[in-house]
Amino acid sequence: MKILVGIKRVVDYNVRIRVRPDGRGVETDGVKMSINPFDEIAIEEALRIRESGKADEVIVVSIGGDECQQQLRTALAMGADRAIQVNSSEALQPLSLARALLKVAQSESADLVILGKQAIDDDNSQTGQMMAALWGRPQATFASRVELDGTTARVTREVDAGLETIEVELPAVITVDLRLNQPRFVKLPDIMKAKRKPLDRTELGDLDIGADAPLSVSDFAPPPARGGGIKVDDAAALVAELKQRGLV
């Protein structure tokens, strides 16, 4: 069985985001970039499935310029078997991403695709669901537990009402939530070893995904600030203040 994991290069989650003064994006110059944290959990889950003997190969794919090879190498160092860069100079929106990932999944005959539930830059949370739709295959989003039994995946999902469990037949797309696992740390010898693992480069144009009508995204702005607050000395003053504001 083959598992395909899609990963995205994003601004590291510890970086404080600053909107560029020209309003055309956020500052990325000299900013630390990392694998999207949810995608890291996706890689970890794929590796654990392979290590349990239920999969033979874990392939990581990223769509972007050559700079995303850095994140693909990290995934290889974590333990993925090989990597594919789909070279694209422009940032794609989820529908095109889904089409491109589907082409890769089909050419690799992937049985399971694991993605993060969302990227922490665009916060779209769309690509996995779109890919499953275009594929005509099941989706199991926001997974906090994945159990494979032959060609069936039993997935527990983190939903607003609690924990929902569904079963899906492979091939399927699973998107992962934060509590699924704790990704492993990469050790130095693994980084050396990862340099010798195969990293193939495909041109986005060669995947022939067609054109879609992208959304126009503009006018980046910082969120409105909250006004200054007051301090109170004790619970009595707090309750009095809340009563005065009609809140309790």
Partner 1 sequence: MMSKILIIAEHDSNTLNPSTAKCVSCAAAIGGDCDVLVLGSGIGDVSRQAAALEGVSIVIETDAAHLAHPLAANLAPEVAAAAGAYSHVLGPSTTFGRDLVPRVAALLGVNQVSDIMAVEGPTTFRRPIYAGNAIVKVDVPAETTVVGTVRAASWKEAATGGSASIESRPASSEAASHSRYVSLEAGDGERPDLQSAKVVVSGGRAFGSAENFEKLYALADKLGAGVGASRAAVDAGYVPNDMQVGQTGKIIAPELYVAFGISGAIQHVTGIKDAGTIVAVNKDADAPIFELADIGLVGDLFTVIDEMMALLD
The distance from CA 77 to its chain's CA centroid, rounded to whole angstroms, is 18
Residues 150-209 binding partner 1 (CB under 8 A) are: 154, 157-169, 172, 177-179
Q: Does 121 help bind partner 1 (rule: CB under 8 A)? A: yes
192's enclosing H/E stretch is: helix 188-194
Q: Phi-psi category of 99—alpha, beta or left, where left has phi over 0 and alpha has psi -120 to 50?
A: alpha
Q: Which is nearer to partner 1, 19 or 199 (CB)?
A: 19
> DSSP letters of 43-105?
HHHHHHHHHTTS-SEEEEEEEESGGGHHHHHHHHHHT-SEEEEEE-SSPPPHHHHHHHHHHHH
Stretch of 15-23, 44-52, 83-91, 196-204 contacting partner 1, by CB under 8 A:
15-23
Interior angle at CA 11, CA 57 and CA 94, nearest 5: 65
Binders of partner 1 in range 57-76 (CB under 8 A):
none
Q: How many amino acids of this chain bind partner 1 (CB under 8 A)?
A: 78
Cβ closer to partner 1: 72 or 102?
102
CA angle 196–201–207, rounded 5-degree value: 150
Does 90 interact with partner 1 (rule: CB under 8 A)? no
* CB 82, min distance to partner 1, A: 28
Position among 1, 26, 186, 191 found at the interface with partner 1 (CB under 8 A)? 26
- Which of residues 208 and 234 has its CB atom nearest to partner 1 in the complex? 234
| Contact call for residues 68 and 85 (beta carbons, < 8 A) | yes
Q: Among 33, 91, 133, 186, which residue sits at the site for partner 1 (rule: CB under 8 A)? A: 133
CB of 237 to partner 1, least distance (A): 8
- Residues numbered 134 to 153 that lie near partner 1 (CB under 8 A) are 134, 137-139, 141-142, 144
Nearer CB in complex with partner 1: 188/211: 211
How far does CA 224 lie from the centroid of its chain? 27
Region at 74 (left for phi over 0; alpha for psi -120 to 50; beta for the rest): alpha
Query: If binding is defined by CB under 8 A, does position 123 make contact with partner 1?
Result: yes
Among the residue ranges 11-19, 51-59, 70-78, 197-205, the one whose residues contact partner 1 (CB under 8 A): 11-19
**Strand residue runs (E) in 150-198:** 152-159, 162-169, 172-176
Which residues, numbered 204-243, are part of the site for partner 1 (CB under 8 A)? 212-223, 226-227, 229-239, 241-242
Residue type present at position 133: A
Choose the stretch contacting partner 1; rule: CB under 8 A; options: 62-70, 77-85, 115-123, 199-207.
Answer: 115-123
